[in-house]
Amino acid sequence: MTGGPRKRLMGASAWLEGVASDLEGEPLSESLLIWKNELPEALREVCNRIATVEGGVWLVGGSVREAMLSNPWKDLDLTTTLNPDEILDIFPRAIPTGTQYGTVTVRIDNSDLHFEVTTLRSEGTYGDGRRPDEVTFGKSLLEDLSRRDFTINAMAIDLARDLLFDPYGGVSDIGKKSLSAVGIAEERLGEDGLRLLRAYRFMDGGTRGIWEPDTELSKALLICGKMLENVSAERIWTEFRRILCGGNAPIILERMRVDGMLSRILPGWDADVRLQYILQAPDSDVFACRLVLLASDIPNERWRRLEHDLRALTLSNRERNRVMDLHRLLNQLPSDIPEFRRYRTSVGDLIDSHLAIHDVLHPTATSTVRDALATLPPLKAGNQPLVDGHILATTSELPSGRRLGRLKEWLFRIQIERDLGTVQEVLNLLDVLDWVKTDPESWPEICWP
């Protein structure tokens, strides 16, 4: 190309043409052009800066797959002929997140969006089944796409020239709802054990149903199963979390069980996957509920091993704690009015998820709990203790400390269970409770159960 970058328009904004690829592309369809016109202005600026310094740049990966499915864009990843140092030079706010593998996270002024920009790569062997032994940066889009895992992820778009590159038939596989590896399936899976789990995740097409792996990929999933041992617990659980959150998770879990993959992730768990079909979990807790349901019939020592893995993950503290709390609450349902009151106060916003799990495990008992909670009046005093530490210290003549705190908690528990409505009703309990000489560690707590 001569004469500098050429322009194409997207609305009122110009896309500058960078270096052309070594592939012959096909024009974007009308639906893809419409999809392109919804892309953020920040992406256009990133692409144009690369084109201005005579770099080639293409949209790749999951964003292209989602475009083919007419889904809204989410993560927008780019590949380029420029090396990481060149990208860092033209984007001062960029973050060198994985420069050894060619990846830089690009940020620009006046935008909160981040874009992963990765140099075109030509990789050699994968000696450990985790990462390539070495990464060689290249200039060939075809060679870069040839090292990707599945055909539906081996497509690229030149946004300036409005061209689609699909050398391995990804568009056709999307149309057939088929999952195929790029090249020889056994080789692709053998390069990185995490691709085994990615295959199961991509089988879940959400509202479009199940995408069936072709014969070669199906065989490779069985042959290469042992490769998962080379993958870190964090990477495994990050991918497994996505599987559990999928719209067709029960079907995928059943396939993983039959293939022996589920037992590799959860060794010693003899989970009844059929229960997953019944579960109606809140969207915000679907991962936690599905995982706890899988763990509903395992010995505690196996759960403790899993708990160690979960603590190594990049889960939020909230999500990790909800998994732990839901497992702790397994098979713990209230049975009378005082327990219903304490359960409602202590379990709080976990109730819907807790009951969703037990709708599966104990449907009759759970139905009774739901009916009772639906007719249970709000507590007269709300969910806060009527007696604070100052009042209790004055009345009981106890000094500040563990004993006073535990007594306050005991009184609060009774306040909830009996639905007491005044301070005096709570203080009257001091005349009937055996709190003067007994060990405070033996006093009831407010928590459920």
Q: What value does the mean pLDDT take over residues 131-149?
A: 86
**C-alpha 340: how far from chain center:** 33
What proportion of the chain, given as a percentage, has pLDDT over 90? 82
Beta partners for 196? Answer: none
**Pairing mode of beta strands 156-158, 57-60:** antiparallel
pLDDT of residue 2: 40
Mean pLDDT value across the chain: 92
Residue 129 has pLDDT above 60, yes or no: no
**What does the chain come to in residues?**
449
Q: Where are the domains of the chain?
A: 7-175, 186-333+344-375, 389-442
pLDDT in tens, 201-257: 999 999 999 999 999 999 999 999 999 999 998 899 899 999 999 999 999 999 999
Beta partners for 27? Answer: 163
Calculated CA dihedral for residues 148, 153, 159, 163, nearest 10 degrees:
90
pLDDT in tens, 350-401: 999 999 999 999 999 999 999 999 999 999 999 999 999 999 999 999 999 9
* The domain over range 186-333+344-375 is classified in CATH as 1.10.3090.10: yes
pTM: 0.87
Residue 313 has pLDDT above 70, yes or no: no
Backbone angles phi, psi at 365, to 5 degrees: -65, -40
pLDDT of residue 267: 83
What proportion of the chain, given as a percentage, has pLDDT over 70? 93
pLDDT in tens, 141-179: 999 999 999 999 999 999 999 999 999 999 999 999 999
Residue 10 has pLDDT above 90, yes or no: no
pLDDT of residue 304: 76
303 band by pLDDT with thresholds 50, 70 and 90? confident
At the top level of CATH, the class of 7-175 is alpha beta
Beta partners for 116? Answer: 77, 105
389, 374, 448, 375: which is closest to 417 by C-alpha?
Answer: 448
Locus of tokens 């800066």: 49
